[in-house]
Amino acid sequence: MSRRALGFIATGALGFGLLAAGLATNASAQDKLVFSVGVTQDIDSLNVTVGYLVIDFEIWNLTLPSLTDRSAEDFSTLPSMAESWTASDDGLTWRYKLREGLKWSDGEPMTADDVVYTITRAVADGWINHRSDLANITATAIDSRTVQVVSAVPDPKLPYLGSYILPKHVYEKISTEEMPNYLADDNVSGGPFQIVERKEGEFVRLARNPNWHGKKPTIDEVVFRMYETAEAQFNALKAGDLDAIDDVPVKLFASVAAGEVENIIGLAGNQGSFSELAINSGCAKGIGDGHVALKDRKVRQAINWAIDRQLLVDKILSGFGVPAVSLIPSANPAFDMKISADEAYSYDPAKANALLDEAGWKDSNNDGVRDKDGVELKLRYYDRSTAGATATTPFLTGWLKDVGIATDVKTFDEDSLIAEQSKSEFDLYTWGWTPYVDPDNMLSYFTTSQVPTDPDVGGYNDANWCNDEFDALYLKQNSELDPTKRAELIQQMHEIFFDEAPYAVLYKYDNLQAFRSDRWQNFTRQPSDVGPVLFSQSSPVYRDLEPVGTRGGSSGTNTMIIVIVALVVAGGVLVALANRRKEDPDDRQ
Amino acid sequence: MRESGSTTVRAMTWARRRRAFSRVWRELRHDRPGFIGLLLLSGFGLFALSAPLIADRSSLLAASGRNNPDLAAPSSKFLLGTDEIGRDVLAQLVWGSRVSLFIGLLATVVAVVIGSLVGLAAGYAKGKISAVLLAIDDFFLVVPFLPLAIVLAVILGRSPTTLAIVIGFTSWAGSARLIRAQVLTLSERAYVERARALGAGSWHVIVRHVLPGVAPLIIANATLIVPTAILTESTLSFLGFGDRLSPSWGKLLDGAQSSGSITINAWWYFLPPGLCIIGIVLAFTLLGRALERIFDPRLKGR
């Protein structure tokens, strides 16, 4: 061994020793109970009027209060800010009584004023995440602890009112024009936790909110750490740097589920999350430049018949999911489309070809791509750079090519992709949704009112699709109090959506999450037994988590071991160096 | 006497070139690292050419793994096992060698053409033109290379051809410098001055006298750009900025990493592309260094 190599090892060991020493001081300084969650999705915006990613919702669930909550067991309505409520005889007027002594994290009182202010402003400014819940609602304050809510139509969602309530004393200073650009860095919280530190693209740290009215969480802090890749995140969990992760790569999850990884448990939870290929259907009332062929329902149906959903489930999800042919409107599977297997879209390229022929798209110039009136059937295919989403692209583009549809694939990060969607300037694009409990929101996204008409504002209708019949049925189910009748109306909406095919819905997938079982217990799932632990509808797990055994004991021992090992290695190398000098002095040139 | 022919200027030139070539070949044969590099490179060339014999192109399709087990270890059916969606890894490796080589070579051509033009111009033309060209060159030398390549790849798209152009466009600065230096020394040589004195124009001097003088340097330098270009392509693909639909070696590594194969130790998925990248980079580097030694006698004996 030459001298340089030895020197390198010695320096390396010294560095390692210093690093370990650093870790040790760090561990002794922090006596807090911290729950670290790894995520591969960065926050889009903490501003509840514009954010749309699952991670955003998780943080709002922890920091923003609402009148009512959902139970972890079965989503039933629970008191939260409101301790009780009463309804008028016609069911249109509800009175919510707030708890006594509610306070925001900055000490300001939390009153009926905050609730009325939020509801009124959300309706007036059309806040995207409040729109569906509050569409028909007006609110007034009877006194500082009583809110009266009047619904213009009978509302099947009431008395549940889960819209995030914002602190009036912060938001009244922000004008409607400034609102979309507001960074929500006030850190005023009304939930169980409050944001104390955030580094964009790196982490968000939340500490327990002392003014929270509900059950006091055992943990002191929650940290969400952003990771570039799901594998890096998994290895951080294995190494003990993280306590929980979402989005475990399926093959790794399979090994965790088989019990092959020590101290880690995997939980596959389902809450109706699904993936789809959105098809720009060219709504006449919208904007954009979708391919002319996609305005034809037959072409959109053909795309649906060209896809082998079962193979996607087998290969991409390793079976942790099921094929789906219509949107999944609710975390509750009772609202899924009921359709027999022989009617549902299945892998049938012959049928796809027949439909495309029927629509007049034929390969007249024999270049392998269909065309009509001189226009080639070549589609812009926009891909999301998130790991799971990209896996479907080679499959889908291959199957489309098989039926004579060429694709031009471009990959975007989520923000840039949404920017394209807000202009409706795409032909096909991959995305996915996690629905709420009530089907109303998800259904509302496909009404004409959500079709983007202004690129700066955008809209949730990302298929740029509109249908009057669907709109009418939406309004009908929205005010139908009889659950059976409402379910029937929703099935009719499914039939239209299926037939019109603005989406090629691919599958409903499980959220694959993994946890350090040697450190934590009480992994509350929502709903119980089948739902996810992280990124659930109302995030109850952070209030329920309990540490296993004594606090931080194991990590201290680990650090000690690292220090000892480092010292031994460093010592050994020094000895080796010294010996080498004695043995052959000639070697030291 | 004209009909003897062998003494025409053209024939003499060709004879000289033949002699020069055989000298290079002789020296290369005796330069052990260079010869090993050449052998390795021929091996990779054969590997790439034999792709259709080893695996059908259709086994690159995502759905081709339909009836295969996922992440299966090497077996007689799949010599290098399967990837996370059941595709044959060997098929992707062998077809991927074409993509990686294509991108590496095309990027090098782009880099060498830009580098030579800028180098020649900056070395020959003095004054303002030279200063401006050098400033541009300096910019490309100091600008962080990977972020620039990523930005360009995102803007221009991700087909293998555009990737090659992007890589070439971001890696010419070093060779321009090198070539300029050589041009500066050459243009001071007596024979160049003599040519000028005889009334040769700039174009004639550059094409007839300077370019032949720097050509060996350009060749040696190009051989050294190829491995960098291949590495860059692999890096971009590994980071997810490559062409998702072409099976380059970097793409294979990206697939292995994002599917978690490294953690569950599916070595047949990430080891072969990794070794191939190392192998081809080594081959080009050995050959390039050897050519440098041969063309530049000052490096001999070092």
User: Does the beta carbon of A153 lie under 8 angstroms from any beta carbon of chain B?
Assistant: no
Report pLDDT for A349: 96
Query: Mean pLDDT of all residues in chain A?
Result: 87
B70 Cβ under 8 Å from any chain A Cβ: yes
Per-residue model confidence (pLDDT) at position A224: 96
- Secondary structure E strands in A88-169: 93-98, 137-143, 146-151
Residue B20 binned pLDDT confidence (cut-offs 50, 70, 90): confident
The reply to whether B134 falls in a domain is: yes
Beta strands A34-39 and A221-226: pairing type?
A: parallel
From B268's Cα to the closest Cα of chain A, the distance in A is 15
Q: Report yes or no on A481 lying in a domain.
A: yes
Is B73 touching A (CB cutoff 8 A)?
no
Task: Give B162-208 pLDDT, tens digit per residue.
Answer: 888 888 988 899 889 989 998 888 888 888 888 888 888 888 888 88
What average pLDDT score do residues B257-274 get?
Answer: 89
Predicted local distance difference test score (pLDDT) of residue A11:
37
Within 288-317 of A, beta carbons closer than 8 Å to B belong to 308, 311, 315-316
Give domain status of residue A125, yes or no: no
Do B168 and B107 touch, CB atoms closer than 8 A?
Answer: yes
Q: Per-residue confidence at B297, pLDDT binned at 50, 70, 90? A: low
pLDDT at site A131: 84
Interface touch B84/A397, C-beta < 8 Å: no
Residue B257: which of A231, A308, A394 has the nearest Cβ? Answer: A231
Q: Shortest CB distance from B244 goes to which of A230, A255, A394?
A: A394
Is the minimum CB–CB distance between A320 and chain B shorter than 8 Å? no
| Res B300: pLDDT | 58
CATH at residue B278: 1.10.3720.10
Asked if A394 is an interface residue toward chain B (Cβ–Cβ < 8 A), one would say yes
Q: How far apart are CA A10 and CA A550, in angstroms?
A: 37
By mean pLDDT, which of A226-240, A379-393, A534-548 is the weakest?
A: A379-393
Cβ distance B260 to A318 less than 8 Å, yes or no, reads no
The whole-angstrom separation of Cα A211 and Cα A105 is 6
* Residue in B66, B157, B260 closest to A251 by CB: B260
Residue from the list B63, B71, B263 with its beta carbon closest to the beta carbon of A398: B63
Evaluate whether residue A207 is within a structural domain.
no
Determine, yes or no, domain membership for B166: yes
Its pTM stands at 0.79
- Cβ contact, residue pair B65, A315, below 8 Å: yes
On whether residue B120 sits in a domain, the answer given is yes
A231 Cβ contact list (under 8 Å, min separation 6)? A249, A252, B257, B258, B260, B262, B263
Q: Tell me, what's the pLDDT at B90?
A: 94
Best residue in A231, A309, A412 for a mutation probing chain B (most B CBs within 10 Å): A231
DSSP state of A450: G
Q: Can you give the three-state secondary structure of A375-404, one letter per residue?
A: EECEEEEEEECCHHHHHHHHHHHHHHHHCC
Chain A residues touching residue B157 (CB < 8 angstroms): 410
What pLDDT score does A568 carry?
A: 58
| Contact assignment for A383 to B259 by CB distance below 8 Å | no
SS3 at position A86: strand
Does any domain span residue A483? yes
Asked if B57 has any chain A CB less than 8 Å from its own CB, the reply is: no
Mean pLDDT of A124-136: 88
Region A446-459 average pLDDT? 90
Q: How many domains does chain B have?
A: 1
Q: Which residues touch A419 (CB under 8 Å, ≥6 apart)?
A: A455
CA distance A318 to chain B (A): 9
Report whether pLDDT(A8) > 90: no
Measured CA to CA, the distance from residue A240 to residue A238 in angstroms comes to: 5
Q: Is A347 on the interface with B (CB under 8 A)?
A: no
Q: Which residue has the higher pLDDT, B114 or A481?
A: B114
Whether B5 maps to a domain, the answer reads no
Q: Looking at beta carbons, which residues of chain B come within 8 Å of A383?
A: 244
Q: Is the pLDDT of residue A26 over 50?
A: no
- Which residue shows structure tokens 């010599």? B79
DSSP B47-84: HHHTHHHHS-GGGGSGGGGTTSPTTPPP-SSSTT-B-T
- Domain boundaries, position A377: 274-509
Q: Does A514 touch chain B (CB under 8 A)?
A: no
Asked if residue B280 belongs to a domain, the reply is yes
For residues A58 and A76, give the distance between their C-alpha atoms in angstroms, rounded to a whole number.
19
Domain ranges, residue B141: 13-61+79-299
Residue A42: band (very low, low, confident or very high) from pLDDT cuts 50, 70, 90: confident
Stated length of chain A: 589
- pLDDT of A500 reads 96
Residue A305 lies in a domain: yes
Whether residue A469 lies inside any domain: the answer is: yes
Residue A65 has pLDDT above 90, yes or no: yes
Q: Of A45-59, A428-442, B211-225, which range is least confident? A: B211-225
Burial class (CB in 10 A: 0-12, 13-18, 19+), A233: buried
The answer to whether position A310 is within a domain reads yes
Is B68 domain-assigned? no
8 Å CB contact of B260 and A383: no
Is the pLDDT assigned to residue A112 strictly greater than 90? yes
Q: What is the CATH classification number for the domain harbouring A497?
A: 3.10.105.10
Nearest chain A Cα distance for residue B231, angstroms? 21
**ipTM field:** 0.79
Which chain B residues have a beta carbon less than 8 Å from that of A391? Answer: 85
In chain A, how many domains are there?
A: 1
Contact flag A395-B240 (C-beta cutoff 8 Å): no
pLDDT of the residue at A387 = 56
Query: Cβ–Cβ of A251/B257 closer than 8 Å?
Result: no
